[in-house]
Structure 1
Amino acid sequence: MSAVRTPAKHFAPLAIGAPEPYRALPVRIERMIHFVPPHNEKIRSKIKDIARQVDVVLGNLEDAIPAGDKEAARQGFIQLARETDFGGTGLWVRINCLNSPWMLDDVIEIVREAGNKVDVIMLPKVEGPWDIHYLDQLLAQLEAKHAVTRPILIHAILETAEGVKNVEAIAAASPRMHGMSLGPADLSASRGMKTTRVGGGHPDYAVLSDAGAAAGAGRARAQQDLWHYTIGRMVDACLAYGLKPFYGPFGDFSDPAGCEAQFRNAFIQGCLGAWSLHPSQIDIAKRVFSPDVNEVAFAKRILEAMPDGTGAVMIDGKMQDDATWKQAKVIVDLARLVAEKDPERAEAYGFRS
């Protein structure tokens, strides 16, 4: 017996008077999800300036907010949501996890006071589709009660072994699903991994060159990516269901090169963005998750040489066919989205007259 709704009911609102779910996600550029602590009045006073620099502003109510500041963070988020015109910048909130004493009030008060401003609710520690079903139904009831005119989306954080095991079922759980982020710190604890780092690699997770090839010069050592497997699973699940995959946090603010390398690995694997926890990571995310200028120029040449996406052509001695046409279209479509938000890159991509 199927555990999912039938196709006829999949896109039906879960409460009378709630807005109809999206049949396709809104098209937005989301290179970085920039975390802010809403209880911090100094940060709140800078929200308008921050919103102009980033693609998504996220009010964080969960980890890194002390228990005594939870309610102040919630009220601070409601205040900044109501008082700020975010324009084309997304507004998200990370609520507390489902088994916490703050989660229910987070959702009830935020939807009541700012439901028409919030684009996405980020849900921590998602373990299976049942978690999504609960929040899905609750949001529909609150949207109906408070006359919210567009559906608030759900973004799941993968940060437990059970969540990774159930990643496809989570992706399929609701038309309200926006995407998923990797949560490496909690996930490493859940798995019993031997690292205290928040994202990034570990010097002891490495491979050595073959012993016979060393020839007395010492064996070359190459550090491996701890998160390659999980990101691959997450990307496949998200793209199979039309969702957006994201890398999560990189906690070492003193290592911009390491941050950029980790973000770039995730970008090449298919992630559309990452979390920025510090202002210095905003430009790193912009650089990494915006297509390279030369790659965009070459992709445009492929599309121009194969206008209908069929056949095969030679460009610079390399054969291009319908498969590479699809790859080129992904790059050019992303570049167009970036260009709408970023005038400098629009000029570099040749999309501005």
Structure 2
Amino acid sequence: MSAPDPTIRPRRSALYLPASNARALEKARSLACDVVILDLEDAVAPEQKASARDAAVAAVQGGGFGHRELVVRANALDTEWGADDLAALAAAGPDALLLPKVSDVDTLRAARRALGNGIPLWAMVETARGVVNLTDIVDAAGEVGLAALVVGTNDLAKELRCRPGATRAPLLPILSQVVVAARMAGLVALDGVINVLDDEAAIEAECAQGLEWGFDGKTLIHPAQIAPANRVFTPTAEEVAWAETIVTAFDVPEHAARGAIRVEGKMVERLHLEEARRTIAIAAAVQARQ
């Protein structure tokens, strides 16, 4: 397999950890997740907000997370902690800042002004208004430095008063909208969390559903969920072999100017070539980490 493309970064598993939990922060440096999300919001009690912020800043500055992308979820700007979170994180410089409950473009613009330039923004889609405004939100991606959409399925279910169940049927139209919006703007799309902790088959099934709907990876709430997510969102050996077959076929000189060719009895177009290259790059990046 060729060397990994440095522009391709696997985000199969993105684990939320409360920044107030010192043991969790230390353990995160050795976990197999692709993304560590230090949480200052839902997982932190009001009386611990300030100390959690200090701990997150110290973790970012201390480093030691290796290949793991280090993201911090701040409190919303309209809370008493939001402005202080952004001021502290602007100086610390995590790999990205995750904003909760992004309902409109103005929220992203305010965050960008507070952070200055440089730190990418990730936006949580977890309100009805945020879903309705998705097009406007992603249209401003270049302006505000938006790099990813992250679904907040628990908050969505609460606001919509729906009952997703194992199939997540009431949320599937929204999940599809998030993927479409992300692809419109070339953004990463991460699926929402699953609340099941001790049923690996159920976790894997929901990860597989997210993969089927087009997500790049899944957000998680417990280390036990990492392995199933990584398995599902890692290209299989068969997928990599087929991708390499497609790339090899298009590399033949007589196919250089063709938009579609026949490969092992199948019609393959250049759109399949692009996806094949991405599959190979993801697999190579994963292999390099192992």
Output the TM-score relative to the length of structure 1: 0.74
| Structure 2 residue aligned with 1:126 | 102
Q: Unpaired runs of 5+ in structure 1?
A: 1-24, 144-150, 196-200, 204-222, 343-353
1:42–1:87 distance in 2 versus 1, CA, 3 Å: closer
| Structure 2 residue aligned with 1:40 | 21
| Structure 2 residue aligned with 1:275 | 219
Are 2:285 and 1:341 aligned? no
Q: Report the AA paired with residue 187 of structure 1.
A: L
Are the counterparts in 2 of residues 47 and 80 from structure 1 also a CA contact under 8 Å?
no
1:326–1:42 distance in 2 versus 1, CA, 3 Å: closer
Partner of 2:36, secondary structure, is: strand
Are 2:54 and 1:75 aligned? yes
Are 2:150 and 1:169 aligned? no
Q: Report the AA paired with residue 28 of structure 1.
A: R
Alignment length (residue pairs): 279
User: Please, which of 77, 80, 103 is the counterpart of residue 98 of structure 1?
Assistant: 77
Q: Unpaired runs of 5+ in structure 2?
A: 1-5
Partner of 2:50, secondary structure, is: helix
Are 2:157 and 1:188 aligned? yes
Are the counterparts in 2 of residues 92 and 121 from structure 1 also a CA contact under 8 Å?
yes
Q: Distance in 1 between matches of 2:236 and 2:264?
A: 18
Are the counterparts in 1 of residues 96 and 121 from structure 2 also a CA contact under 8 Å?
yes
In the TM superposition, what is the alpha-carbon distance from 1:328 to its structure 2 partner? 2.3
Are 2:173 and 1:232 aligned? no
Greater shift in the superposed pair: 100-109 or 314-323: 314-323
Equivalences for residues 11-22 of structure 1 within 5 A: none
In the TM superposition, what is the alpha-carbon distance from 1:37 to its structure 2 partner? 1.5
In the TM superposition, what is the alpha-carbon distance from 1:309 to its structure 2 partner? 7.3
Larger Rg: 1
1:309–1:300 distance in 2 versus 1, CA, 3 Å: farther
Equivalences for residues 1-353 of structure 1 within 5 A: 27-50=8-31, 53-112=32-91, 114-115=92-93, 118-140=94-116, 151-175=118-142, 176-193=145-162, 195=163, 201-202=164-165, 225-307=169-251, 308=256, 310-342=258-290
Partner of 1:30, secondary structure, is: coil
Q: Report the AA paired with residue 87 of structure 2.
A: I
In the TM superposition, what is the alpha-carbon distance from 1:71 to its structure 2 partner? 1.4
Are the counterparts in 1 of residues 19 and 44 from structure 2 also a CA contact under 8 Å?
no
Q: Distance in 1 between matches of 2:257 and 2:57?
A: 47
Q: Distance in 2 between matches of 1:233 and 1:48?
A: 33
Q: Report the AA paired with residue 90 of structure 2.
A: V
Q: Per residue, is there more helix in 1 or in 2?
A: 2
Q: CA RMSD in A?
A: 2.1
Partner of 1:130, secondary structure, is: helix
Q: Distance in 2 between matches of 1:312 and 1:43?
A: 50
Q: Any idea what the Cα deviations from partners look like across 1:246-293, whole Å, max 9, x if unmatched?
A: 102111112322221121121122211111211111111111111111
Q: Report the AA paired with residue 80 of structure 2.
A: P
Greater shift in the superposed pair: 316-325 or 100-109: 316-325
Q: Any idea what the Cα deviations from partners look like across 1:6-47, whole Å, max 9, x if unmatched?
A: xxxxxxxxxxxxxxxxxxx95422211111112112223334
Q: Report the AA paired with residue 37 of structure 1.
A: P
In the TM superposition, what is the alpha-carbon distance from 1:63 to its structure 2 partner? 0.6
Q: Any idea what the Cα deviations from partners look like across 1:179-230, whole Å, max 9, x if unmatched?
A: 101111111122222x2xxxxx426xxxxxxxxxxxxxxxxxxx56333211
Q: Distance in 1 between matches of 2:210 and 2:43?
A: 24
Q: Distance in 2 between matches of 1:171 and 1:336?
A: 29
In the TM superposition, what is the alpha-carbon distance from 1:329 to its structure 2 partner? 2.8
Q: Distance in 1 between matches of 2:126 and 2:23?
A: 30
Greater shift in the superposed pair: 160-169 or 257-266: 257-266
1:47–1:192 distance in 2 versus 1, CA, 3 Å: closer
Q: Report the AA paired with residue 70 of structure 1.
A: K
Q: Report the AA paired with residue 199 of structure 2.
A: D
Output the TM-score relative to the length of structure 2: 0.89
Q: Distance in 2 between matches of 1:41 and 1:294?
A: 41
Q: Any idea what the Cα deviations from partners look like across 1:43-101, whole Å, max 9, x if unmatched?
A: 23334323xx2211111010121112111211111122222233332111000112211
Greater shift in the superposed pair: 233-242 or 41-50: 41-50
Greater RCO structure (CA 8 Å; 6+ sep)? 2
Are the counterparts in 1 of residues 141 and 185 from structure 2 also a CA contact under 8 Å?
no
